[in-house]
Chain A
Amino acid sequence: MSAKILTVDDSASIRLTTKVTLTNAGYEVTEAVNGAEGLDKAKAGQFDLIVTDLNMPVMDGLTMIEELRKLPAHMGVPIIFLTTESDADLKARAKAAGATGWLTKPFDPENLVKIVRKVLGR
């Protein structure tokens, strides 16, 4: 069975790229447009991995990660966040909030798949 991935991003084009890339790589992808929707969808269905942007309206990625890690069902679920090279401080905060790994924007779709595979394991 293919792994289920939730992608959370307010940018439709990044969401589309993520979805197409991961679907082609054989994963089942669900989309959410901000942290609040991401949190709701995560609670409603168990995902094997979450890919999220940090800077989003309504609820940002940091808050969503913190909230998710409080839920027993979401301890241990790998969470990858998207960040820019310039934002070292944000990266540290996302890790402290409980994120597993990151992907630097702009990203190469192949790199996304590589990191998803790395975090999901064989």
Chain B
Amino acid sequence: MSSTDPIAVFRIEAAECLEQIEAGLLDLTHQLDDKALIDAVFRGLHTLKGSGSMFGFDALAAFTHHCETAFDRVRKGEAPATAELVAAVLDAQDHMRALVDDPNGDHDATSQRLLAQLQAAVGGAAKPAQWVTAAAPASVVTDKRKTWRIRFSLPLNAMINGTNPLGLLDELRDLGECRVVANTSTIPSLSALVPTELYLSWDVTVTTEQPRSAIDDVFIFVMDDMQLDVEEIDGNAVVATPKEAVVSAAPAAPVAPAAGEIVPVKREAPAQVAPVADQRQAKVTESVRVPAERLDELMDRVGELVIAQSRLSQLASASADIGLRSVSEEIERLSGELRDTMMVLRMVPVASLFSRFRRLVHDLARETGKVIELVTEGETTEVDKTVIERLADPLVHLVRNSIDHGLEPPEERFAAGKAEAGTITLSARQSGGEVIISIKDDGRGINRERVRAKAESSGLIQPGQQLSDAELLQLIFAPGFSTAAQITNLSGRGVGMDVVKKTVEALRGAIDIVSLPGQGSDVSLRIPLTLAIIDGLLVRVGAGRYVIPLSAVEECLELSLEEDLRSRGRSFISLRDSLVPFLRLRDVFRTGTKPDVHQKVVVISTGTERVGLVVDQIIGDHQTVIKSMSKLHNDVAHFSGATILGDGSVALILDVVHLVTVGQQQEAHLRAAG
């Protein structure tokens, strides 16, 4: 079979199965009790159902399941093979052919009729189909570190049957910080020892954010035959083992916090102080320190390799040389893996960033006389080291802001019925290709009236100008903006928030603010995981090719020429009941070319706001190495960088944040105008 499309292969196979079923059924009409024939028909039905469900022929699979069940009963001797059954399945088999040929057609009525016929023939065999796709249990990271003690022993023949206990231990180690102690007391004397049998048992302590089910998943294939004992233990009370001494953590005396005191709280408790220190020590012994520049150099080389590889792929795909193609595919895979490895090398946990804040919050609590609880979450989330370095100052500023403007003094909180201790939550989590770092407080929230008054008095907006809530909140990032009634040592000097925003945008990130009066504010920084290589969508506008960062792309739609003409003068598309403004990149870039007949709209978003970009053609996804533009191009709008395509030509990378802003402003203008 030369075809490599599994669906095409399935259709051919289904035709063969149906022929085999038909032949078997016809033979059965002459000799109803022939076991070999019954088996053959059952197998045909079984394969048809199994493969059908694999390749999306769900109606076929569901229908065939009933026939298979009926034949299974006959095969097992639970029901007799009757002429009615054979006739019913013969009829059903024609229907299956239709279900293969036209899987999306309306076959329900026929299916129902044939199933009723089948049911009449066997009596009660046609139960509703029930098989469930064995979806792998999604690994839920609860961000709640727990320590588990796992004691297990495997059956003696586990290794003969292909289970590798070292693999299981590796999987446990992958869950988190892990300590393994093997129990060797059950090993028999040499004369009694059978080398293929497994005598060891293990006692494992693992500290993980993964749920209990992740531990069960490790043992999924041996669960039924093994001894497994899993219990949650206190992370500090390290289990005493023959070779390990008990380490007791210093007891933290819980006293009522006095004003000006900071209470560090880790949600990942139970008290993690000792294990974290352990983990650090372990890391030191296992790692090699490398100067950061060398990593950057390596990154550059990998970047160039990715570009060279994409040129090779392009050459190979145009060539008829099979050998060249296969080498090219191999190199594509290898360079992808190399890139992934490189990315991981540059990643460091945000713990190093968050740890500085304990001291900062401590000092600020003292200065302001506020009682502050600092909660950190998701400290193991990893981010590119450059991102961590650049985010340190903006985060300091945001935390200062939250403490100074957000949190109320204890007496005010008490009067408002809140706990006297205010909480600042620093959290990090990964979401798709981004890391979201958020600074949350449970203070008074941002005072909209004061923001508006300040913006009007400093001329940022016209008095009475209509603004959405999001736009109003974004004003605090305007240069020279400050709402502090008095200028304190901490913040309110009017420098900072605009710098925060610039820094985040320079990292191709965005800031979202949620603030509820009386309940607090949440400032989230969304930063791409890596800075050097992105997945992009390659598009064509006029004769030029451009890259849109894929993480910002929400969807792509078609914009026919008539629609485009009809929408001249206004620039919205209606997208599932909401109006999205769009920009014709042809006009923005002044290409002077005629639009393609089938233009496309790429909807991009910065998280809260969306804009459609009209392009002439979507070429496809493209992994892009970002080359920053020279200083000469500092004032170039619309673009955040450039990249080199497979054929050696240059494509510019669109600046998503900027374009969304432009699109939204244009919409606002049009709305104001008319």
A contact set with B: CB distance below 8 Å: 10-14, 16-17, 20, 26, 55-57, 69, 75-79, 82, 84-86, 92, 95, 98-108, 110-111, 114, 118-122
Residue of A nearest to B224 (CB): A95
> Please, could you name 6 A-B residue pairs with CB atoms under 8 Å apart, sorted by A?
A10-B47, A20-B6, A55-B47, A75-B159, A101-B220, A121-B170
Which residues on the A side are within 8 Å of B10 (C-beta)? 13
Asked if residues B13 and A11 are in contact (CB atoms below 8 Å), the reply is yes
The one of B9, B40, B159 in contact with A13, judged by C-beta atoms closer than 8 angstroms, is B9
Contact of A86 among B40, B130, B135, B161 (CB under 8 A): B130
**B164 and A105 contact, CB distance less than 8 A:** no
Measured in the bound complex, the distance between the Cα atoms of B53 and A75 in whole Å is: 33
Given A14-B50, A55-B46, A119-B167, A106 contacting B133 (CB threshold 8 A): yes
Q: Give the residues in chain B near A17, CB-CB below 8 Å.
A: 6, 54
A13 touches B333 (CB 8 A): no
Alpha-carbon separation in the docked complex, A102 to B50 (Å) = 15
- Interchain CB contact (< 8 A) of B167 among A86, A104, A111, A121: A121
Question: Does A12 contact B134, Cβ atoms closer than 8 Å?
Answer: no
Residues on A with beta carbons closer than 8 Å to the beta carbon of B171: 118
Q: Which residue from B54, B159, B163, B196 sits with its C-beta under 8 Å from A107?
A: B54
B378 CB to nearest A CB, Å: 24
CA distance A119 to B134 in the complex (A): 17
The answer to whether B55 touches A13, judged by C-beta atoms less than 8 angstroms apart, is yes
The count of residues in chain B whose C-beta lies closer than 8 Å to any C-beta of chain A is: 42
Q: How far is the CA of A107 from the CA of B221 in the complex (A)?
A: 16
Q: Establish whether residues A100 and B46, one from each chain, have CB atoms under 8 Å apart when the complex forms.
A: no
List B contacts of A120 (CB < 8 A): 167
Question: Could you tell me the distance between the alpha carbons of A111 and B6 in the complex, rounded to whole angstroms?
Answer: 17
Minimum Cβ distance to chain A for residue B450 (Å): 52
Known contacts A13-B10, A75-B196, A122-B170; A99 and B161 CB within 8 A of each other: yes
B residues adjacent to A (C-beta < 8 A): 1, 4, 6-7, 9-10, 12-13, 40, 43, 46-47, 50-51, 53-55, 61, 130-136, 157, 159-164, 166-167, 170-171, 196, 220-221, 224-225, 333
B162→A76 contact, CB < 8 A:
yes
| CB-contact partner of B160 in A26, A57, A98, A106, under 8 A | A98
Q: Is the CB of B6 within 8 A of A69?
A: no
Chain B residues with Cβ below 8 Å from A57 are 40, 43
17 additional contacts (CB under 8 A) given A69-B160, A98-B161, A122-B170 = A10-B47, A11-B50, A12-B1, A12-B9, A16-B9, A17-B54, A55-B43, A78-B163, A85-B131, A98-B157, A98-B160, A99-B162, A106-B50, A106-B133, A107-B54, A118-B167, A122-B167
Q: How many A-B residue pairs have CB under 8 A?
A: 113
> Residue among B4, B133, B164, B221 with the most chain A CB within 10 A?
B221
Chain A residues with CB under 8 Å of B159's CB are: 75-76
Asked if residues A105 and B170 are in contact (CB atoms below 8 Å), the reply is: no
Select A12's contact among B12, B157, B162, B221, beta carbons within 8 Å.
B12
B136 and A114 within 8 A (CB): yes
Shortest Cβ distance from residue A105 to the other chain B in the assembled complex, whole angstroms: 5
- Please indicate the chain A residues that have their CB under 8 angstroms from the CB of B164 in the complex: 76, 78, 119, 121
User: In the complex, are the beta carbons of B131 and A13 less than 8 A apart?
Assistant: no
| Chain B residue at smallest Cβ distance from A82 | B50
Closest residue of chain B to A50 (Cβ to Cβ) is B162
- B43 to A: closest C-beta gap in Å: 6
Closest Cβ of chain A to B535, distance in Å, is: 18
Establish whether residues B134 and A104, one from each chain, have CB atoms under 8 Å apart when the complex forms: yes
Taken together as a complex, chains A and B put the C-alpha atoms of A26 and B332 apart, in Å, by: 12
> Contacts A11-B13, A55-B46, A105-B54 given: A75-B160 contact, CB under 8 Å?
yes
Q: Give every chain B residue within 8 A of A110 (Cβ-Cβ).
A: 136
Q: In the complex, are the beta carbons of A108 and B162 less than 8 A apart?
A: no
Bound-complex Cα distance A69 to B132 (A): 31
Nearest-neighbour CB distance to chain A for B523, whole angstroms, equals: 36
Q: How far is the CB of B236 from chain A (nearest CB, A)?
A: 30
- With the chains together, A29 CA to B233 CA distance in Å? 44
Which residues of chain B have C-beta atoms less than 8 A from A103's C-beta? 134
Does the CB pair B170–A12 fall under 8 Å? no
CA distance A111 to B61 in the complex (A): 20
The 10 closest A-B pairs by CB, nearest first: A100-B162, A121-B167, A104-B134, A78-B162, A101-B221, A13-B10, A106-B53, A106-B54, A85-B131, A13-B9
**Distance, CA A114 to CA B13, complexed state (A):** 27
Cα–Cα, bound, A75→B157 (Å): 10
Q: A38 CA to B135 CA in the complex, in Å?
A: 28
Asked if A11 and B51 make an inter-chain contact with CB atoms under 8 angstroms apart, the answer reads: yes
Contacts of A98 in B (CB 8 A): 157, 160-162
A79-B162 Cα distance, complex, nearest whole Å = 7
Cβ-closest chain B residue relative to A15: B9
Contact: A119 with B166, CB < 8 Å? no
